[in-house]
Amino acid sequence: MLFKVTKRRKRFSFLKEIFEWLFAVVFAFIIALFIVSNIGSLTQVKEQSMEPTFLENDRVIINKIGYILGKPKRGDVVILSKVNTEKGLFVNMRNEFNDIKDNISYRFTGVIKKNNLIKRVIGIPGDELDIRDGAVYINGKLEEGYTFKGETFEESNLKFPLEVPENKVFVLGDNREYSLDSRSIGFIDYNQIKGKAFFRFFPFSRVGLIK
């Protein structure tokens, strides 16, 4: 009888230990997901629209907490979603989980899901923008310094000149001739911005802060 009780206690202790271990793993995963969805995370550039600032397959660190305390500034390089404008803690965690799932899928299938874009903020609320003669003008002044060779075409559903509305930004790729940006998808709502790209950690020959 005593042997059976001892055996039952050992089994209960073993199951309890397994449960505690699983709980710790799940809890750690939730905490990690919270951190990468609301503070910072890593991403890989999967497009050519930001050349020469970013080349395809560059790896960068995203600062997500900066825009909780402030707003995007002109010249910021941002990671944004072109399809989702929802906001909230659990929405962020869900989106980050989907990003992780897509990255794992990419490793095994080689199929890239381009739900996110990396672009540069050109216009902030209140700015007057105009695109003419292959150049961008902000509040009447020529905008230059970021663009790759070539012209900035005006082809857009938007009518220029225009004023950037409140709580929105106007974004362009540095490689203006080959970029899906605000000329095609319109103004970007603050809620669509996932964070600011601020440091490139790969390739090692191009490591450094992003300007």
Catalytic residue among 37, 49, 81, 182: 49
Cis peptide leading into residue 52 (ω within 30°): yes
Q: Round to whole Å and give the CA distance between 123 and 53.
A: 19
Residue labelled with tokens 């399809």: 83
For the question of residue 13 being annotated catalytic, the response is: no
Q: Which of 64, 119, 168, 196 is catalytic?
A: 119
Residues across the chain: 211
Task: Extract the tokens encoding 43.
Answer: 């991403």
Q: Is the distance from CB of 149 to CB of 76 less than 8 angstroms?
A: no
Distance separating the N- and C-terminal Cα atoms of the chain = 74
Give, for 116, the enclosing helix (H) or strand (E): strand 116-123
DSSP annotation of 26 reads H
Q: Is 49 a catalytic residue?
A: yes
Give the contacts of 129 (CB within 8 A, at least 6 positions apart).
122, 123, 136, 137, 138, 160, 161, 162, 163, 164, 170
Positions marked catalytic: 49, 119
